[in-house]
Amino acid sequence: MVFSHSNVKFIKCVMSKAVKGRLRVPKLTVELRQDRNTKLMLFRNDRSDTPHLTLSWNNPSKSIDVHLKVRSPGGRESHREIAVIPERNFLRVLGTFKDLLLENVLVNFSRAARVRPGRLGRWGYAVFFLDEDEKRDFIDQIAPLRKHRKLERVFDPTAFVEWANSTERLKNIYHPSILHYIAANGTENVIMASRVRSRHKPKLLPLGLFRNAAGQPVWIAMERLSRSMLSLSEGFILACLKDLLPKDAWDTVYSELQLEEIDLNGDGKTSI
């Protein structure tokens, strides 16, 4: 397959060292930043005419400041405080999430399918794998460090297209038997398998390495678990906000971020 700018959609972004984590779900992005304090930002990723919601904590006041940030066409930013929340309320919500997450993971692990490398080979899959040195070189190639007041990685879509169309990528495509080698050395990363022949579904299969009760390494197909976790993330993000914010602040966020367009459970504003 030949990749080009016309058939691949890219998001050109500057990853600051302050960004510690980012979760992107349909229509929403959540970003965690660590600087002088800790910030949790939530914004629409499908439209540019809505404000960003910012929750900041580790403040001297021991409270969470909630703001809506609007950027004008000239690049000027304005911040409007809509709530101040005690940090203990936020910790309570995180505790709820931990219990829900554990329940969801246990239920879906019980349904997840164990995958054997030999079976993947018979099904027509190949495995894409980069070791740590290759991974660093790949990141340097498609997201080089550049100076923007400080060193930051900037994703270069042209470099990615050039890599995708080069023969270089072929050296990292293996028969599924390489999963035995990866399991022996251990990995915490999700390994991607892609169907290159036959009609077995799915075409892309994420694989996770776990250990069974006897301590033996096993490969688990993560597709079903990933879909469930994504659904949990979508619903939980907004449910947490509604639980955490005062009603007038939640109504403001709901209205100005146009959250009725999200409608996760199909029944509008009352679904959250």
Q: Are 5 and 157 in contact (CB under 8 A)?
A: yes
Rounded Cα gap, residues 262 and 272, in angstroms: 10
pLDDT at 110: 59
DSSP three-state, residue 16: coil
Distance from C-alpha of 53 to C-alpha of 40, rounded to nearest angstrom: 8
Place of tokens 């439209």: 47
What is the structure's pLDDT at 176?
93
At 203, which amino acid appears? K
Nearest to 205 by CA among 115, 269, 268, 133: 115
Can you tell me the distance from the alpha carbon of 46 to that of 50, in angstroms, rounded to the nearest whole number? 10
Classify residue 172 by its DSSP letter. G
Average confidence (pLDDT) per 10 residues, the chain, 272 residues? 39 46 76 82 88 87 88 79 84 67 61 83 92 86 78 82 82 92 89 88 87 84 64 65 87 91 48 40
Give the count of beta carbons closer than 10 Å to the beta carbon of residue 43. Answer: 17
Q: Where are the alpha helices (DSSP H) in the chain?
A: 87-111, 117-122, 132-142, 157-164, 178-185, 223-244, 247-256
Mapped onto helix, strand or coil, the DSSP state of residue 136 is: helix
Encoded amino acid at 162, one letter: E
For strand 19-25 and strand 173-174, is the pairing parallel, antiparallel, or unpaired? unpaired
Helices and strands (H and E) in the chain: how many: 7, 15
Annotated domain spans of the chain: 14-86+231-271, 113-221
Q: Give the Å distances, CA to CA, from 176 to 6, 131, 202, 211, 216.
A: 31, 15, 16, 19, 18
Strand 114-115 to 217-221 pairing: antiparallel
Query: Is 225 in contact with 206 (CB distance < 8 Å)?
Result: no
pLDDT of residue 193: 92
- Global pTM? 0.49
Q: Which residues pair with 56 in a beta bridge?
A: 39, 65
Contact 30, 20 (CB under 8 A): no
